[in-house]
Amino acid sequence: MSPAVDLAECVERLLHGFTTYDRAVDVVSAFEMAFTTSRSQVPGTVRHFERFPRVPGPDDTTLTPDFTVVFEDGTGLAGEIARLALHENSAEGLCRQIAKYDALRQLPDASGLTQVSQTDVLLLVPQSVGVAAVKRIVVDRFANPEHPYKPSVAPCVVQFAFDEDRYIFQRLLDPRNGVLRDGNRADGLGRWFEENGDFKARPSRFSDIKSARAFINDPVDPLYLATHLWAKTFPTMAGDSPRPVRLEVRSSDLAAELRERFGGVLASDVDRALDLLKTAKLADQTADGWVIAWEELRVPGEKDLAHALATRACRPPSRSASSRLEAAAQAEAARPTPPPSLF
Amino acid sequence: MTATPTSMQRPFDDALWSAAEQGQTPESLRDLVHGTFRGEREDQLTVATVIADGCEPGERLAQAGAGAVSGFRMAGPIAVLRVGEAENAYTVSVWPTAEEGVYHLIGTVPVTDERWRRVERWLANSAPRLVPFVLNQADFEGVGAALAEHGRVEVSRLTARVLSDGSSYTRGWAEGRRAPRPTYTQALGEVEEFASVRTLTVHVGDLLSLHLRRHAGATFYGGSFRLFEDVVLTALVGAAERRRVLLTGRERRPHERQEHAIAVQMPTGIFANAESVSDLLEALSEQRGVGIAVLHRNPYLHVAVTDYLDGSNFDAFVTFDDRVLIYPGYRASVGALTRLTEHLAERFAAREVADVQASTPPTRDELFTTG
C-alpha cells in the first residue's frame, strides 16, 4: 500500500469516529429536546433528564447509559445508542449491558440519585441495523427461553435515520419489540410511537442544546475532542496573546473545566485527545501535564480543522510543539525594540 | 516628527491637519465643512461608520497604515492621519460620535478611489478591534423615509448584487424631462425581487446629494450638510449602536442557558443547495485569521468558527435555507462577532442581523409530521 493510500485510510478512520460521535450527540440532543423543551405534555411529566448519568451498578461497577429520565410518577427510562456489530459477541455484550439498565431502581435526579419503580430501556440503533437489532436482541435472545438475557421487559428498539432535513426515530413494529410504558402520565413517547409510529426532529429544534452540551456520556472521540479543544477551549484560554501561545494544562483540570461548561468529559478523554494532538506535533507531554503550542492551523488545501488535525495526526510534521514554542520565544527575544513613537 | 507639509489638495484636509498640528479641536464637523467646501465638484466627504472594541481607533488605524501614514495628530478627541506626502497628501480622520464605541472615519477622497480602498484595507487589518458593519435592510430603507420628510427623494444611480448568482447590477437614471427619476422607494422596489441593493446615489430635491452604502457609510456630495448630518449620519450612528449593543456581552457563561442567538437573515432559499453551503464554508474561512471546523454537514450544517486573532469562538448552524444562526462561545468579543456577521451579510446579501430565540421547540403535531 502506498503512503498516500495509508494516509487516506488513516484520515478516513479518524473522521469516521468523529462523524459517528457527532451523530450520537445529535441523537441524544434530540431526545433531550423531546423530554425537556418540546411544546408537548411530555416535559411536564419529567422530573429530571440526565445527559451524563453515572449510576451504581452491580459489583461496585458504574453504569453509564447515554441518558436517563426520571418521571414525576416515579418511573424511569435509560436510553442507549447501540453500535451493533456483525459478530455475536457484540449482541451478547449489548444484552449484558442493557440487562443491567433494566434492573436499575435508582436513577439520577437534580440532587443525586432517586428511587424508581421500573426502568424502561430505550435502545437506539441506526436504521441500517434496526431490523437486525430486533432480531438479534429481542427475538434471538430475549424471546428465546434458552438464552440467559431475561430483563423484566423487552427493550424498546427504536431506529434512527436522517431523512432530508430531519432525524426520524421509529419504533420497530415487530410485536415482540418492547414498548415504553407511559402509565397514567399525561403523555409519553410510548404513546407517540403507538399513535404515530415515529417522531421527527429537525436540527433547528435542538441546535441550542447541542451547542450548549457538546458531548455525550460515551468516551469522547479523540478527534472530536481535539477539534473542540483547538477551536473553542484553547482560543478561549489564549485570547489575543502573541502566537503561538504556550498553554500548560493538566488533563484533570481541563476535564473539570469542560465538565463545568459542557458536561461529561473525563480526564481520560482529554488525555486521548491531547495524545492525538501530540501525534500531530501540536502538544507535548511533560512531567506535570501537557504543553500546547496553539495558533491558527494551516494545512494547504484544507480549510476544515477536523480534517487538518486528522491529516497532521496521520502525517505529522517534523517539528514538535515545544520546538515551535522555543523558536517563537527566540524570535521574540531577538526582535529589536521598537522606537517609542512612530510619529 | 515630520516637517510641516505642503498644502494638501483639499481645503478640508488642510484645515483639519492644521488644527491638529496646533492641538486645536475643530468646532464641529459641520463648521469645518461649511468653512472649507466651496461647492466644487471635487468637494465631497466620505464617511464610513465603524465599531471599536476596546481600542483607540485612530492609533489602531495609524498602526495598520504605518507604511503610508506620514503623520498622526489628535485634534482634541479627533484622531487625524495624514496619508502620503506633499501635495498628494490627504487626511483620514476618526471622529467619535454620540455613542460610545461608534466612530466615523472621514476623508475627502472618493469611496471608489484607491486612496480610500487603502483605508479599507487598514480597517480590515485592524479587525477585530475596529470593524465596519452592514446596515440592516430596514435601516437602509429608514434613511430614505427620513429624507423624504424634507423633500422628494430621487435616485440617480443604484448598484446591487443579483441574488441568483452574486453578479453586479447597476442602473442609472439621468435627470431628464421625459420622466422623473425614481423615488427611493421606487428604486428599491424595482430590484427587490432579484437583487440586494448595495449603494444608492440620492438627491433630496435641491437640498442634498449623497451616496448611501449598505456597508455602513455615506458620501456627502453637496447641499445641506446639516441635513446630511442630522438624518444620514445620525441614522448610521443609530444603526451602529444597535449593532454594538446586539453583539456586546454575548459570550456564553457556565450554567446559564442561552435563550437567544444571533441570526444573519439571508434572502429565502440562498442555502438551498450543496453548492451554496460550500460557498458559505468558503466565505467563513476566507477572512484573515478565521478558521472553521465542520462538525456536521449535509444537509444541515454545524460549524465551529474560531477567530484566531482574539480567541473568540462561535457555533454556526444552517438549519433553514435562509439563515445562519450563531451561538457565541465562552469568548466572544463584540469586534469578532461584528466582523463575522458583517462578512456574512456582505457576502450573502443579508437582510438583517438580529437577535432571535435560541431554538424553536416543536409541538406534538410537529414532531409527528414535519419535525
Question: pLDDT by residue (tens digit) across B209-238?
Answer: 999 999 999 999 999 999 999 999 999 999
Are B368 and A196 a contacting pair at CB < 8 A? yes
Q: B329, B156, B364, B169: which is closest to B258 by C-alpha?
A: B329
Q: Kindly report the number of other CB atoms within 10 A of residue B221's CB atom.
A: 17
Q: Which of A200, A235, A261 sits opposite B313 (nearest CB)?
A: A235
**Both A126 and A20 in a single domain?**
yes
C-alpha cell of B106? 472621514
Residue A299, beta-bridge partner list: A302
**Both A66 and A178 in a single domain?**
yes
Q: Which of A40, A168, A231 sits opposite B306 (nearest CB)?
A: A231
pLDDT of residue B6: 64
Which residues from chain B sit within 8 angstroms of residue A237, using beta carbons?
311
Domain annotation covers residue A262:
yes
Q: Which of A26, A297, A306 sits opposite B294 (nearest CB)?
A: A306
Q: How far apart are CA B187 and CA B182, in angstroms?
A: 6
- CATH fold group of domain B11-132: TATA-Binding Protein (3.30.310)
Where does chain B hold its CATH 3.30.310 domain(s)? 11-132
pLDDT of residue A86: 77
Domain count within chain A: 2
Answer whether B68 touches A (CB < 8 Å).
no
pLDDT of residue A85: 85
Element (H or E) spanning B119, and its range? helix B114-125
Q: How much is the ipTM here?
A: 0.95
Answer whether B363 touches A (CB < 8 Å).
yes
- Closest residue in B to A165 (Cα–Cα): B299
Shortest distance, CA B315 to any CA of chain A (angstroms): 7
Domain annotation covers residue A342:
no
**Both A228 and A207 in a single domain?**
no
Q: Which of B62, B304, B360 sits opposite A204 (nearest CB)?
A: B360
C-alpha cell of A107? 436513577
Nearest 5°: the CA angle B327, B328, B331 is 160
Answer whether B320 touches A (CB < 8 Å).
yes
Domain annotation covers residue A341:
no
Q: Which of A165, A182, A211 is the last residue of a domain?
A: A211
**Both A287 and A153 in a single domain?**
no
**Both A205 and A251 in a single domain?**
no
Q: Which of B292, B295, B359 sits opposite A206 (nearest CB)?
A: B359
**Both A284 and A324 in a single domain?**
yes
Scanning B151-180 for CB atoms below 8 A from A yields none
Query: Residue B140 in contact with residue B214, Cβ under 8 Å?
Result: yes
Q: Kindly report the number of other CB atoms within 10 A of residue A81's CB atom.
A: 23
C-alpha cell of B371? 419535525
**Both A205 and A94 in a single domain?**
yes
Are A207 and B327 a contacting pair at CB < 8 A? yes
Average per-residue pLDDT for chain A: 95
pLDDT of residue A338: 58
| Segments forming the whole domain that contains residue A305 | 219-334
**Both A123 and A246 in a single domain?**
no
**Both A178 and A31 in a single domain?**
yes
Best mutation target among B294, B323, B355, B364 (most A Cβ atoms within 10 Å) is B364
Over residues A231-290, the pLDDT tens digits come to 999 999 999 999 999 999 999 999 999 999 999 999 999 999 999 999 999 999 999 999
Shortest distance, CA B138 to any CA of chain A (angstroms): 26
* Average confidence (pLDDT) over B129-143: 97
**Both A172 and A65 in a single domain?**
yes
- Closest residue in A to B364 (Cα–Cα): A40
Shortest distance, CA A242 to any CA of chain B (angstroms): 9
pLDDT of residue B298: 81
Answer whether B276 touches A (CB < 8 Å).
no
Please count the residue pairs, one from chain A and one from chain B, whose beta carbons lie less than 8 angstroms apart.
Answer: 171
Over residues B41-64, the pLDDT tens digits come to 889 999 999 999 999 999 999 999
Domain annotation covers residue A339:
no
pLDDT at A339 over 60: no
Q: Which amino acid is at B70?
A: S
pLDDT of residue A298: 82
Name the pLDDT band for B1 (thresholds 50, 70, 90).
very low
Query: Residue A98 in contact with residue A133, Cβ under 8 Å?
Result: no
Shortest distance, CA B37 to any CA of chain A (angstroms): 29
Are B370 and A200 a contacting pair at CB < 8 A? yes
Domain annotation covers residue A139:
yes
Shortest distance, CA B318 to any CA of chain A (angstroms): 8
Q: How far apart are CA B121 and CA B114, in angstroms?
A: 10
pLDDT of residue B3: 46
**Both A197 and A58 in a single domain?**
yes
Are A212 and B313 a contacting pair at CB < 8 A? no
Over residues B2-31, the pLDDT tens digits come to 445 568 989 999 999 999 999 999 999 999
Element (H or E) spanning A305, and its range? helix A305-314
Answer whether B328 touches A (CB < 8 Å).
no
Looking at the domain that runs over B260-357, which CATH code has it been given?
3.30.160.690
Give percent helix, percent strand, percent coil of chain A, each to the nearest 5: 45, 20, 35
Over residues B61-73, the pLDDT tens digits come to 999 999 999 999 9
Q: Which of B1, B292, B369 sits opposite A303 (nearest CB)?
A: B292
For chain B, helix (H) and strand (E) counts, in that order, are: 11, 17
Where does chain B hold its CATH 3.30.160.690 domain(s)? 260-357
Are B371 and A200 a contacting pair at CB < 8 A? yes
- Closest residue in B to A295 (Cα–Cα): B308
Best mutation target among A42, A165, A198, A208 (most B Cβ atoms within 10 Å) is A208
Residue length, chain A?
343
Domain annotation covers residue A86:
yes
Q: Which of A211, A244, A274 is the last residue of a domain?
A: A211
Q: Which of A176, A211, A246 is the last residue of a domain?
A: A211
**Both A203 and A241 in a single domain?**
no
* Average confidence (pLDDT) over B330-347: 97
* Average confidence (pLDDT) over A306-334: 93
Over residues A55-75, the pLDDT tens digits come to 999 999 999 999 999 999 999
* Average confidence (pLDDT) over A295-309: 92
